[in-house]
Amino acid sequence: MALPGPIDPPHRLLMGPGPISAYPSVLRAMAAPLVGQYDPFMTATMAETQELYRGVWNTSNEATLLVDGTSRAGIEAALVSLLRPGDRVLVPVFVRFGHLLAEIAERAMAEVHIIEAEWGQVFPVSAIEEAIVRVRPALLALVQGDTSTTMNQPLDEVGAVCAKHGVLFYADATASLGGNAFEADAWGLDAATAGLQKCLGGPSGSSPVTLSERAVEAIRSRGRVEAGIREAGDASSADFVRSNYFDLGMILDYWGPRRLNHHTEATSMLYGARECARLLLEEGRDAVIARHRLAGKAMLAGVQALGLGVFGDLAHKMNNVVAVEIPDGVPGDAARAALLEDFGIEIGTSFGPLHGRVWRIGTMGYNARRDAVLSTLAALEAVLRRFGVAVPSGGGVEAAADLYPGS
């Protein structure tokens, strides 16, 4: 077999539900030279990154760090470290990724209890509290924003309910962090995880995690330092975390002052994650959320002006993605392929009962900007015409542009 040439991906505008086009400075940061894992520059960069993500999460949690791996790695690390075999966990499922939380909890040998809401809706806090009272879980695991339906589950009252009933509160903020409000301390989160590939504007491969003191205490109670580096006096609980790689107790010791050897930190991902957080805080958390809100409103106005329906409860839609109902008679996958092949623009399909019914169009991270929104709407209009849909000429672009100052 002939050797392939150097990697040379085509230019794409990634306007789907994630991954998205990364900020150019994130890609430049990831090309910086490598250093050793205990080099003073490396450990200083790790400490800087922890402090930056405290700002992103709006928390004072000392236990704020990265888990090497995709956003799912962060989810699994949190759940496998917090849930003992046999623990009850309550998972309110209103989206595809609620099922993922239940799946991971089940694999952690927890006793999983599910309540379900119709796709396109969210849970009132009263329904969550009623289920907590009935199930008496050790942990509530809840998705905040889910790109499969675009819904954004309100969390602001849930933490108080969990504290009232002595329940640990975990949230998956993969799709929402950075583009929607998230207040780790004010909302009473015990654990939260995310990824870089959506509103934070980076590539998939690193998962920001933050843990409250209560969560750290629960994790430390299961502490076990692996053989070969264990010293006299180190914890060795019989009820240890059943994963070595995702044992947050050992990962905390790797990121903490002890610098206990656990893995070799993914240096280039660390650089990229650091730059994602730095950019967000440089622009300002509220300003970034406002930018996502404006881009999301513009895209929504644009698709509606093209005569397209929108799925879900718009009162609870995330800022950064919209689910567009595919017009009758239009082959959804073929239309998406035309957008990609002719315009270099990627949008997404969906999962489960929504597959083939909606396209998911994202406006997040680097792409939460006017030119990306307008280019996507113009291209979508052209593709819809090609597939026989009567749409107002320029209607989508004009409706979106009208929302931007100075238009």
3 state SS for 171-189: EECCCCECCECCCCCCCCC
> What backbone phi and psi angles, to 5 degrees, belong to 18?
115, 140
Q: What is the mean pLDDT of residues 270-279?
A: 98
The DSSP-derived string for 288-327 is HHHHHHHHHHHHHHHHHHTT--B-S-GGGB-TTEEEEEPP
Return residue ranges of the chain for CATH 3.40.640.10: 15-281
What 3-state DSSP class applies to 89?
A: strand
> Out of 4-18, 223-237, 273-287, 299-313, which region has the weakest mean confidence (pLDDT)?
223-237
What's residue 87's pLDDT? Answer: 98
373, pLDDT greater than 70: yes
High-pLDDT (> 90) share of the chain, %: 90
Do strands 206-211 and 63-68 pair parallel, antiparallel, or not at all (unpaired)?
antiparallel
407, pLDDT greater than 80: no
110, pLDDT greater than 70: yes
Q: How big is the chain, counted in residues?
A: 407
Quick one: how far is CA 62 from the chain centroid? 21
pLDDT tens across 134-188, in order?
Answer: 999 999 999 999 988 999 999 999 999 999 999 999 999 999 999 999 999 999 9
If one looks up domain 15-281 in CATH, what number appears?
3.40.640.10
Is the four-CA dihedral 285, 291, 294, 297 of positive or negative sign? negative
**Cα–Cα dist 230/207, whole Å:** 27
> What backbone phi and psi angles, to 5 degrees, belong to 384?
-60, -40
> Out of 56-60, 80-84, 246-250, 391-395, which region has the weakest mean confidence (pLDDT)?
391-395
**Cα–Cα dist 255/48, whole Å:** 11
Burial of 399 by CB count in 10 Å (0-12 exposed, 13-18 middle, 19+ buried)?
buried
Q: What is the mean pLDDT of residues 218-224?
A: 93
97, pLDDT greater than 80: yes
Q: What is the mean pLDDT of residues 205-211?
A: 98
Higher pLDDT, residue 122 or 227: 122
**Cα–Cα dist 379/403, whole Å:** 19
Q: Residue 335 in contact with residue 343, Cβ under 8 Å?
A: no
Q: What is the mean pLDDT of residues 73-92?
A: 98
**Cα–Cα dist 84/219, whole Å:** 10
284, pLDDT greater than 90: yes
Superfamily of structural domain 285-401:
Aspartate Aminotransferase, domain 1 (3.90.1150.10)
Higher pLDDT, residue 389 or 352: 389
Q: Residue 48 in contact with residue 140, Cβ under 8 Å?
A: no
pTM exceeds 0.85 = yes
What's residue 187's pLDDT? Answer: 98
Return residue ranges of the chain for CATH 3.90.1150.10: 285-401
Q: What is the mean pLDDT of residues 109-125?
A: 96
Average pLDDT along the chain:
96
